[in-house]
Amino acid sequence: MAHEINVNITHAKEDINISTYPDGLVFNPSHKTTPFVLAEPSNSVSVIGHHVNVVSSNTYADNSVSVINVGSQLNITLGTLVESPFQDQLDSFTYQFDDFVDPGIAYAWGGDGWDASLKFGDVVYLESDLSENANDWGAKCKKAFVNNVDYGAFNTLFIFISHIDNTLILMHKGFFDLDNENISQWTAGRALYLNENHILDITPTGESENWVRSLGYCLPNKDSKKRIWFEPDSTYIKIN
């Protein structure tokens, strides 16, 4: 269906840089817009080999507008918008530690002893390691346990992505789709914590001497995913 667009021609005040691509046409206003996040992105991409759904960004615009005033604060790009400042910002919260040699990462140590190996989606923390056998980063990666404040209560928390060929990848903040084994209960809009079994849950642990800390919230979606926004709070509460 054809659309008529009226273009007002005036004396040029600024240069407009136009790049052409064969894939389509995108108007990308770079100023005087309000950025927002598409909670239901139309595209999902594979990030570092795992099924992380990455949301895209957009800018607010009235789609009924039929007149475009080409002023000094409008950039026009012909083609497909392949990069997003918001996505670049999200990527900055995923960290890669090369040569992170950590033999103990195959097991998660908690107050009750050795647990199974770290899994994709586990909540973990980095612990200082100043021993003579420490890796170049001077740290170990361990699973967060709520039964002792030394096991993640006052540390920066991450979601464990992978540890392959001594390359450790962690996510500190962002959107994440959980498997059933990574979360106990999921309800849209509810805050998230670690429960007494040290996995994500909308109900925090209530046991004595355990610690409680807000880790994000459950994000509504149309894909029937247990999607969350992961953003650990910097404070915790210890249950007496």
Q: What per-residue confidence (pLDDT) applies to 61?
A: 37
Q: What per-residue confidence (pLDDT) applies to 5?
A: 67
- Ordered DSSP codes for 91-102: HTTEEEETT---
Q: What is the distance between the alpha carbons of residues 108 and 41, in angstroms, rounded to a whole number?
A: 34
Q: Is 42 helix (H, G, I), strand (E, B) or coil?
A: coil
Q: What per-residue confidence (pLDDT) applies to 55?
A: 40
Name residue 193's beta-bridge partners. Answer: 201
CB-based burial, 116-137: b 16+ in 10 Å, e otherwise: eebebbbbbbbeeeeeeeebeb
CB atoms within 10 A of CB 34: 7
Instruction: Assess contact for 125 and 158: CB atoms under 8 A.
Output: yes
CB atoms within 10 A of CB 192: 27
CA 74 remoteness from chain centre: 30
Q: What per-residue confidence (pLDDT) applies to 220?
A: 93
Instruction: Assess contact for 195 and 211: CB atoms under 8 A.
Output: no
Q: What is the distance between the alpha carbons of residues 236 and 239, in angstroms, rounded to a whole number?
A: 10
Cα 132-162-167 angle, rounded to 5 deg: 45
Look at the alpha carbons of 148, 102, 48, 98 in this order and tell me if their dihedral is positive or negative: positive
Per DSSP, 103 falls in state: G
Q: What per-residue confidence (pLDDT) applies to 180?
A: 84
Cα 69-71-76 angle, rounded to 5 deg: 85
Model's pTM, two decimal places? 0.63
> How would you write the pLDDT of the chain (240 residues) with one tens digit per residue?
566 666 666 665 666 565 555 555 555 554 444 444 455 444 444 334 333 333 433 333 344 444 444 444 555 555 555 555 555 555 668 899 999 998 777 655 554 554 557 889 999 999 999 999 899 999 999 999 999 999 999 999 999 999 999 999 999 999 998 888 889 999 999 999 999 999 999 999 999 999 999 999 999 999 889 999 999 999 999 999
Q: What per-residue confidence (pLDDT) applies to 96?
A: 92
Q: What is the dihedral of CA 207, 209, 211, 212, to 10 degrees?
A: 40
Residues 6+ apart with CB under 8 A from 133: none
